[in-house]
């Protein structure tokens, strides 16, 4: 963990990462039960959605803690959300 972050931001990052890992683990566990023409695309969509939620959580935390949001917005652009 980057020790230059303020404690509130560090805690928010940790909480967001734990939520993302939990969501992705649930998606992978559900993958075995997925049906349809292409279950792997459903898994990919679930993983992507958890990544989007992660970066949105980091934007909220960064704004609340006076930190820059540009890296998180860039990640959202890369995920196809347009940065929001």
pLDDT 10s digits, 30-43: 887 777 677 788 88
Residues spanned by the domain of 64: 7-78
Let me know if residue 28 belongs to a domain. yes
Kindly state whether residue 83 falls inside one of the protein's structural domains: no
Band of pLDDT at residue 84, cut at 50, 70 and 90:
confident
3-class state of residue 34 by DSSP: coil
Asked whether residue 11 is domain-assigned, the answer is yes
Distance between CA atoms of residues 84 and 79, nearest Å: 10
- Quote the percentage of the chain above a pLDDT of 70: 93
> What's the pLDDT score for residue 38?
74
Residue 68: inside a domain: yes
Residue 14 located in a structural domain: yes
Of 30, 52, 25, the C-alpha closest to 40 is 30
Number of structural domains found in the chain: 1
What pLDDT is recorded for position 1? Answer: 45
Any domain includes 48: yes
């Amino acid at each position: 963990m980057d020790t230059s972050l303020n404690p509130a931001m560090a805690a928010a990052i940790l909480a967001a990462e734990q939520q993302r890992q939990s969501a992705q683990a649930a998606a992978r566990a559900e993958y075995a039960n997925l049906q349809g023409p292409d279950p792997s695309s459903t898994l990919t969509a679930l993983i992507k959605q958890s990544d989007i939620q992660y970066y949105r959580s980091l934007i909220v935390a960064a704004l609340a803690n006076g930190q820059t949001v540009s890296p998180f917005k860039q990640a959202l652009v890369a995920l196809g959300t347009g940065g929001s």
